[in-house]
Amino acid sequence: MECLLPWIGHIQFADNPGRHEPGTGEINFSNVFSAIDKMDYDGWVSAEYRPSGTTTESLHWLPA
């Protein structure tokens, strides 16, 4: 993915399965975000998921 970095301006994420918030599926987002940081990516990163409960409840994964 690093070779494509100059052409990536936006990364969207959701967990799998179900496209719910991080922490509800099988993706290790700690590793994903760490890899993005190591590449010095400076574009946009955003969550686009279907909350598994209410929107407020689904924000538990965000740092305080």
Instruction: Specify the pLDDT at position 1.
Output: 66
Instruction: Specify the pLDDT at position 64.
Output: 60
Q: Which long-range contacts (CB under 8 A, 24 or more apart) does 31-39 make?
A: 36/11, 39/1, 39/2, 39/5
Instruction: Specify the pLDDT at position 11.
Output: 95
- Using only C-alpha atoms, the chain has a radius of gyration, in whole angstroms, of 13
User: pLDDT by residue (tens digit) across 8-54?
Assistant: 999 999 999 999 999 999 999 999 999 999 998 989 999 999 999 99
